[in-house]
Each structure stands twice: as structure tokens, then as C-alpha cells.
Amino acid sequence: MLTYIVGHPIKRPEDFYGRSHQVARFFEIVAGTQAQSLSVLGVRRAGKTSFLQYVSNHEVMSRYVPNPRDYVMIYIDMSFCKTPADFYNRLLKKLNQSLSGTRPLNLWQTLPDETSLYDVETILCQHPHRRIILLLDEFDHIRTGSFSEDFLTELRAMTSVLDYELACVTASYWDLYQLGEHIGLPPTSPFYNIFYPTPIYLPGLDLPEVDLLIRQPASQSGLMYSDNEVADIHALAGSLPFFIQATAAKWYETKLYGMPPTFNAILPQMVASLTPYFDQWWRSLNQCERLLLHSLGMRTAVDPANCHSTELNAARRRLRSLGLIVPGLNGWSVNGAIFAEWIRQFGDVAEEAENENTAVSPLIRPSELRRLLNDYFDFEELRTLCFELGFDYNFLPGEGKGAKVREIVSYMQRRDQGLERLIEAIRLERGHII
């Protein structure tokens, strides 16, 4: 039986490893004299969902706050919310469930597409002595639905009402200023003021936590790792929990079937299986961050002509905060041999694709773009493409792949420089076809 949890969020507190500093910081902020809002940041697969599930567990809360019953943690996955009304409807149902089945004071039945902030506040005002913490996971998805700056303004308004106490915890890859800018919220908006100034980042685990995460699940099934095996798994995976779990699971599986696992044998297998995640990371980084990672992977220096020292320092700080680079004996290094090997094999190709001239060629007509999307992208890849372009695949009319492809091209045609952005996105995904 596989003892490592790979892919799914961690549900049981006993299966959650590390993050002790971040957990303590979380409760310092939300459980102080007055609850404060905060932002949790991490790359995809950093464990943001598991972190939110962990801190909202009653047993965990009881270790950090004296009266956990006074707190109501409401978890909402924003990727399921397509409109503000959808969000408020989900929030309304969860509040009713969490607050002992309390119903709103209004007696009419609220329809899902009509639920608003006022329906939610009707319930909140009935519980002035409870501290409500909204855990808004996948907050990046406000880019893809019909959310506007008004929605963020309403969130801020809810945290400022004196009749109840509420705070927001957002979990995302994009920081709040990037998200706000994307949907039209100015950087001077008071929305940002409600959040604790320093986000909680989820980088890699500390060395003792890595050691425990590798050894303990295997030992539960009677399989003991030597110190050298633990060191090899750590060197391969780095210190981000998902990649430790995935690599340790591969090592466990290989050993279980009687084949001696080795660093050099596992490395190419894991590069192949984890490429989709690394590719997502790469597309979301800016040019200077890519150059720094590429230089560390290739063990070369960054050309100052391509990245100013100020930008390079900012890139280094951010990559360290996200856990993509770690300090070593001889300076900085890529976090894990698997990611470093992926950079050596594919990072430079992605970089070249990014640097290509992405202006619309008169030879690439909308009909040709439809053909390329139809021939080279499956349904899930089309969903990801839409997400990267900032709109929701599920909002596109039509049934079937052909209809969806037609609507994607049509939607981008109606946007300023839309086709240029679509072509750039296709090049990043399938550079050889366009």
C-alpha cells in the first residue's frame, strides 16, 4: 500500500509535515487582539490548500488559540466561483452550516445568482462574538471569472463592519497587487490596507522536516531508509513537500518491487513525470527570474546586459521566498536536482520561445489558429490556456472541442492585442507548431 500522499491536499493533521513557523505566524496574525487579513503565497504545488486545511482543523487551532470555539474558519475554493453572486451563495451556505444552522433573517429564498453581500451580512450580524476567518483558496481565479474591482472593495467592506468580526486569508501564486491590477483595482485602493504587510510564503521545508517526511511514511509500512537513501531523495526532490512525496513514492515503489533505486536511475524518470509542473512555474516567472534560474542550473553567471543588478537582487529574493532556489555551500542553487535537470534540458528552450518576436504574422489567420488549437491541444490543455490568458473556459458558449476552440479565438479577437497574446501562449506551450 502506497504510504505517501502525492497530489491530493493533506486532510489529516498527522499527515501534515513542517510549516511550523508559518502556522505560528498565521495564528499570530488572525488570532491577535483583533483579527487581521493576510495573504499566503506559493508556487503551484507548494501546499497552499493543505496549509489552509491544516490551520482550520479544530485540533490544530486548539494548540494555538485559547478558545477555538470562538473561531469559525470558512474554506472556499475560488476556482469554483465564477461570479461574485456564486461566491456569496457558497459563503452563505457555509456560514449557515458552521453557525449551527442559523438562517438569515429575511424569509424569502435567495437564488444562487441573486445572492449578495447583504444576504451574507444578515447572518454575520447575528454572531458579533464569533471571529469569522474566510480562507479563500485559489484566489488567482478572480482573474478568470466576472470579478471586478467592486468585488475586492466589498471584501474590504466586510472586514471593516463593527457589528461583526471578519478577516480574509487569500492563498495564491500572484500577489494581491498583481491580481488587483489585472481586474482594474488601482494600487492606491484601501483594499490592500486590510492585509498584513508581509505575506506568508510557503517555501521548502527545513532539513529535519524533510528527513521526517521521507522516513516516516515508509517506516509505517516497515520499510526503513538508510541515511544515504534519504540524502539521495532529498538531493533529487529538493525541499518542497509535493516533490519530496512524489520522489519518495517513486523510490518506495522501485524498492518495493525488488529493483535497487539509484539517484541516476530515478532522475530522468522524475524529470519526465514532473515536467508539467515545472513548465507552469517557468511560464509564470519574469525574464530575469528565468535567467537567474537558468544560470544556476547551467552553473554560469548571469550576463549583466540581460538583467540589471537591482532586478537580479529582486529576482533572487522572490525565488528564495517561493522556494525555487536555496542557499548552499557555494552560494545559491536550484532547489532539487530534478528541477535543475529540467532547466538544463528545457528551460533554455522556453526562454528562447519567450524571446521570439510575438507580433501577429499576417500569415497566421484566425482560421489557422483554430486549426492549431484543435489539432494540438486537448480539453485540459485548452482549460489551462484559457486560465493563463485570464478568462474562464467554462464561460465559453458551445458544446464540443470545435465550438470551444472557435469561441477562444473569437474572444481573443475582440480583445486589445488579443491574437498576439494567444499566439504567444501557443508558442510557449507548443513552440514548434507556430
Single out the residue of 245, 363, 188 nearest to residue 3, CA to CA. Answer: 245
323 and 377 in a single domain? The answer is no
pLDDT in tens, 219-260: 888 888 999 999 999 999 999 999 999 999 999 999 888 888
- In this model, does residue 354 exceed pLDDT 50? no
- In this model, does residue 110 exceed pLDDT 80? no
The C-alpha cell at 256 is: 518495493
Q: What is the pLDDT of residue 417?
A: 76
Q: What is the pLDDT of residue 426?
A: 86
High-pLDDT (> 70) share of the chain, %: 91
pLDDT in tens, 282-301: 988 888 999 999 999 998 88
Nearest-angstrom CA–CA distance, 344 and 326: 17
332 and 426 in a single domain? The answer is no
E-strand spans in 89-211?
A: 131-137, 165-172, 200-201
- In this model, does residue 139 exceed pLDDT 90? yes
86 and 194 in a single domain? The answer is yes
Domain end (from 179, 201, 223): 201
pLDDT in tens, 16-51: 999 999 999 999 999 988 889 999 999 999 999 999
- Asked whether residue 99 is assigned to any structural domain, the reply reads yes
- Asked whether residue 395 is assigned to any structural domain, the reply reads yes
The C-alpha cell at 380 is: 485540459
pLDDT in tens, 291-327: 999 999 998 888 888 888 898 999 999 999 999 999 9
- Asked whether residue 336 is assigned to any structural domain, the reply reads yes
Nearest-angstrom CA–CA distance, 392 and 142: 10
The C-alpha cell at 8 is: 491530493
322 and 402 in a single domain? The answer is no
184 and 40 in a single domain? The answer is yes
- Asked whether residue 29 is assigned to any structural domain, the reply reads yes
- In this model, does residue 420 exceed pLDDT 70? yes
- Asked whether residue 46 is assigned to any structural domain, the reply reads yes
Q: What is the pLDDT of residue 432?
A: 62
- In this model, does residue 104 exceed pLDDT 60? no
185 and 302 in a single domain? The answer is no
pLDDT in tens, 51-86: 999 999 999 999 999 888 899 999 999 988 988 999
- Asked whether residue 318 is assigned to any structural domain, the reply reads yes
Domain end (from 147, 167, 201): 201
327 and 399 in a single domain? The answer is no
Confidence of residue 112 (pLDDT cuts 50, 70, 90): low
What's the predicted TM-score (pTM) here? Answer: 0.78
Nearest-angstrom CA–CA distance, 390 and 413: 14
Q: What range defines the domain where residue 424 resides?
A: 366-433
- Asked whether residue 212 is assigned to any structural domain, the reply reads no
129 and 177 in a single domain? The answer is yes
323 and 379 in a single domain? The answer is no
Domain end (from 293, 322, 355): 355
- In this model, does residue 357 exceed pLDDT 70? no
342 and 405 in a single domain? The answer is no
The CATH number assigned to the domain holding 180 equals 3.40.50.300
34 and 153 in a single domain? The answer is yes
The CATH number assigned to the domain holding 345 equals 1.10.10
High-pLDDT (> 90) share of the chain, %: 51
302 and 343 in a single domain? The answer is yes
Single out the residue of 409, 365, 47 nearest to residue 203, CA to CA. Answer: 47
What's the average model confidence in pLDDT over 83-93?
92
Mean of the per-residue pLDDT values of the chain: 87
- Asked whether residue 418 is assigned to any structural domain, the reply reads yes
For the chain, how many structural domains are there in total? 3
Any idea what the Cα angle at residue 147 is, between residues 143 and 152, rounded to 5°? 100
More confident residue, 346 or 109: 346
Q: What is the pLDDT of residue 115?
A: 82
